[in-house]
Structure 1
Amino acid sequence: MTNFQTLASPYAERFLNQIREESRDGRGVSRQGYGPHEQYVHDLVISEAKRLNMEIEIDPAGNLWITRPGKNRSLPGIVSGSHGDSVPEGGNYDGLAGVCAAMTVADMLDRLNVQLERDYTVLVTRMEESSWFGRAYVGSLALTGNLKPEEVQLRHRISDRTLFDTIKDAGFDPVAMTSGKPLKELSNIAAFIELHIEQGPTLENNPTHRIAAVTGIRGNLRHKICRVIGETAHSGAVNREFRHDAVLALADLLSRMDKHWKEWLDAGEDLVFTCGVVNTAKTAAIAIIPGEVTFGLDMRSLSMDTLYRFHNLMLAECDEIAKERGVRFEFDNVLVCEASGVDPQVRGRIEKAAADHSLNALSIPSGAGHDAAVLSNAGVPVGMIFVANQNGSHNWREAMKLEDFIQGAELLWHTVCDYDNK
């Protein structure tokens, strides 16, 4: 281990373990956006900021900004961080690894008495995960002036409670968040650098390169609630030609889209397609032909053109299936997160820091979306660092080896410290 890794590892391990224990939920952790366990992450960071004599600011969306002043405060600052929430019964590191890395750098700046040329800020965003209310990147969208009023009217996954009321009860301002105006002057950010677990298998399967500089971030089109409306009937009394089976219509759609997906991949398009939620009606039974099924869709690509074309193809298939099977497809408003390229100069600084300090780092794209993509699309120069993790993500089995994480934290450290080197 390098000197940085030896000195920094105990702090990082304590930080990660403390939050895991506080938010443990059965086999995994649950930190709902604008809920008490997400707030615990923010409170812990605030406590650390006070210990480190950092400046503390909370914007109207509840995003937390803590700053170590630089020598020249007229310069735009370097910002690093991520989100503190999680999916239900998820892993501890999705988002939190980036918060921990940014805090580890802040702690080391204090311990080694390093004053940077410009301000260094840790940013902890709110509600990056869509699992609770169906809208991802709530804090960063509000920050950049891109959260829509109708999006805070979305309802909780297992209750009738709106996101608007949840935000308000947490002490923040959903009206200001949806005003269309940025909550901070984004030109004051020279670079936003987000460390994140990879959430895929590339780094985990590489024995020598356990960290990476990210080359781009996929955008996504999502439908939270879609329906196929058919006709409920007796399973034994209605022959096939008279049926309007909602489940078979959905199965038909998914089968067709899966075939199209493979064809598009074979043609060189970047695309992933997921139907992650399927539910029949509350009255469904084994002896009833299903007359209604609800489902959710998630499509992602580095190209928004690819996404819109694939979405249009899906709608055309729905029209065809509706005619063939005598059913009706209904879709809620599509939720859009734009694909994002990372800033070439910020990426170059990350890659140079890795080379200069003998840290083995790959260059790979991000399949998942991140707050960094939202900030990038708002004009902020962004870069990302990936760290290997085991067992994927968005599940309780998610894992991350400390020795991998601390390599990523060291890469962040050198990128930050070397930022203004000539």
Structure 2
Amino acid sequence: MTTDFQKDSLVFAQKCFDDVRAMSKDTTGVSRQGYSPVETKVLEYFKKIGVELNLEISTDKAGNVWMTVPGKNRELPALVSGSHADSVPQGGNYDGLAGIVAALTVARWMRETGYQPERDYTVLMMRMEESSWFGKCYVGSLGMTGQLTEKDLALKHRSNGKTLAETIKECGFNPEDLTTGEPVVDLAKMAAFIELHIEQGPTLDSSEEYRVGIVTGIRGNLRHKTIRCIGQTAHSGAVDKQFRHDAVLAFAELAYRMDCLWDEWLKAGHDLVFTIGVVHTAPTSAIAIVPGEVTFCSDIRSLSQETLDGFHALFEEEARKIGEKRGVKFEFDGMIKSQPLAIHKELSEHLAKSATEAGLKVKKLPSGAGHDTVIFGNLGIPAAMIFVANQKGSHNPNEAMEITDFIQGAEALWHAVKAFPVGGIR
């Protein structure tokens, strides 16, 4: 059944997606680096819409943009919804952007119908959630909540060598404001945070019945950008096997061993995913050389911090054993951590209940990817997520979210906002 909300909002939402795609189009897909002129252009585009809707607009010291529909009782903390404006390099158009457009679509519907919420309703557009450019995720929300560090700001861009601090400064903000340990906004004024996002896996898209999901938990992760396996370079024809310290074979054995252990942990009931995403031999590698060095990255994810820590410890122990066996050494760089989040149960149930009562079918499922929601939830702010089906995966240029699926998700958000309890959710 197509509702008035869906009929009235579809063209608006589609135009937002098309306009932003055009302004951030790359040779393949879209590229919206956090704290870049392109990301700023996207935010200015939405701020212009906010002005047209007569929203109250402000920008915090981390560069995040807040656009508010004033409520009847302005003493109450605001209900906040939104997501991030950036993308991965040459990625899809909907990762992050869907959450901004959904939140703004709800604000527009309020204005179109003359609806005034009981409390302020705020659209939040955040900077730099993706880690692809600097190796640090959630920069906008961490900066806002006072959780960035000097070490974070010293991270360098993947290609141009600029530090994160330099990049933020070039964008017009003072990076020193973001490492004081204190939030740059009053977090007590947030009653709850709801983030709509495309599902970045196939669960919803494989279902004919469910196109909208309610997230039950968000996996945390432990990552290493660079792990080095250091062996000994040698002549491939002159050195027999017993004298070799082959870095490639040592790496391959470690990768296979971890894959086997992953199976064992899954059979034992652990929620766990393990990925080695990038592998390189040394620049001097050649067909006639026994490889003396391999570098690779790792990504461990789970809904359980105990599982994360346990599997990582096992990873290091297996690397040590294989290193001793093959006469090589594995060197791990600094770990990048993101805590898992148990989604706020009462808020999640509110999302499911309000959507179901509005005639929308929703499926409960976990999130394998991290989101800004984690930052708010781990600070004690009620936080939850809505997923919409998305075709052809994510973090690639082929994201193919159907606008009809999106509009159902946006309507689920609208009903959750409309039915949000006057007394809030604890």
- Superposed pair shares fold, TM > 0.5: yes
Does the 8 A contact of 1:127 with 1:138 survive in 2?
yes
Q: Structure 1 60/421 Cα, relative in aligned 2: closer, same or farther at 3 Å?
A: closer
Query: SS where residue 25 of structure 1 aligns?
Result: coil
Deviation larger for 298-307 or 35-44:
35-44
Deviation larger for 179-188 or 193-202:
179-188
Deviation larger for 58-67 or 259-268:
58-67
CA distance in 1, matches of 2:110, 2:346: 23
1:27 matched residue in structure 2: 28
Q: Residue type of the partner of 1:395?
A: N
Gaps of 5+ in 1: none
Measured against aligned partners, the alpha-carbon deviations of 1:67-113 in whole angstroms (never above 9, x if no partner) come to: 11111110010000000111111110010000110111111111111
Measured against aligned partners, the alpha-carbon deviations of 1:92-138 in whole angstroms (never above 9, x if no partner) come to: 00100001101111111111111101001111111111111111111
Task: Report how far residue 299 of structure 1 moved.
Answer: 0.6
Measured against aligned partners, the alpha-carbon deviations of 1:358-379 in whole angstroms (never above 9, x if no partner) come to: 0011111111110001110011
Q: Residue type of the partner of 2:117?
A: L
2:131 is the counterpart of 1:130: yes
1:8 matched residue in structure 2: 9
Q: Residue type of the partner of 1:224?
A: K
Query: SS where residue 223 of structure 1 aligns?
Result: strand
Query: SS where residue 275 of structure 2 aligns?
Result: strand
Does the 8 A contact of 1:204 with 1:210 survive in 2?
yes
Q: Residue type of the partner of 1:186?
A: L
CA distance in 2, matches of 1:226, 1:177: 29
Q: Residue type of the partner of 2:171?
A: A
CA distance in 1, matches of 2:163, 2:329: 28
Does the 8 A contact of 1:28 with 1:90 survive in 2?
yes
Q: Residue type of the partner of 2:97?
A: L
2:421 is the counterpart of 1:411: no
CA distance in 2, matches of 1:368, 1:223: 16
Q: Name the Cα RMSD after superposition.
A: 1.2
Q: Residue type of the partner of 1:50?
A: V
Does the 8 A contact of 2:68 with 2:120 survive in 1?
yes
2:336 matched residue in structure 1: 335
Task: Report how far residue 286 of structure 1 moved.
Answer: 2.1
Measured against aligned partners, the alpha-carbon deviations of 1:320-341 in whole angstroms (never above 9, x if no partner) come to: 0111111111111111111001
Does the 8 A contact of 2:215 with 2:387 survive in 1?
yes
Q: Map of 1:13-412 to 2, 5 A cutoff?
A: 13-412=14-413
Query: SS where residue 251 of structure 1 aligns?
Result: helix
CA distance in 2, matches of 1:63, 1:78: 16
Q: Residue type of the partner of 2:139?
A: V
Query: SS where residue 108 of structure 1 aligns?
Result: helix
CA distance in 2, matches of 1:176, 1:288: 51
CA distance in 2, matches of 1:292, 1:60: 43
CA distance in 1, matches of 2:65, 2:371: 17
| TM-score relative to the length of structure 1 | 0.98
The sequence identity of aligned pairs, in percent, is: 55
Task: Report how far residue 421 of structure 1 moved.
Answer: 6.5
Gaps of 5+ in 2: none
Measured against aligned partners, the alpha-carbon deviations of 1:357-404 in whole angstroms (never above 9, x if no partner) come to: 000111111111100011100111111000000011111111100000
Query: SS where residue 115 of structure 2 aligns?
Result: coil
Task: Report how far residue 318 of structure 1 moved.
Answer: 0.9
Measured against aligned partners, the alpha-carbon deviations of 1:1-52 in whole angstroms (never above 9, x if no partner) come to: 1111000000000000100111111231111111122112211111111111
Does the 8 A contact of 2:23 with 2:42 survive in 1?
no
Task: Report how far residue 148 of structure 1 moved.
Answer: 2.0
Q: Residue type of the partner of 1:297?
A: S
Deviation larger for 226-235 or 210-219:
226-235
Does the 8 A contact of 1:31 with 1:88 survive in 2?
yes
Q: Residue type of the partner of 1:222?
A: R
Query: SS where residue 29 of structure 1 aligns?
Result: coil
Measured against aligned partners, the alpha-carbon deviations of 1:299-318 in whole angstroms (never above 9, x if no partner) come to: 10000000000000000011
Does the 8 A contact of 1:117 with 1:420 survive in 2?
no
Q: Residue type of the partner of 2:40?
A: Q
Does the 8 A contact of 1:322 with 1:329 survive in 2?
yes
Q: Structure 1 233/159 Cα, relative in aligned 2: closer, same or farther at 3 Å?
A: farther
CA distance in 2, matches of 1:116, 1:248: 62
Q: Residue type of the partner of 1:19?
A: V
Q: Residue type of the partner of 1:104?
A: T
Q: Residue type of the partner of 1:132?
A: W
Does the 8 A contact of 2:118 with 2:422 survive in 1?
no
CA distance in 2, matches of 1:192, 1:242: 59
Measured against aligned partners, the alpha-carbon deviations of 1:249-275 in whole angstroms (never above 9, x if no partner) come to: 111111110000010001100000011
Query: SS where residue 183 of structure 1 aligns?
Result: coil
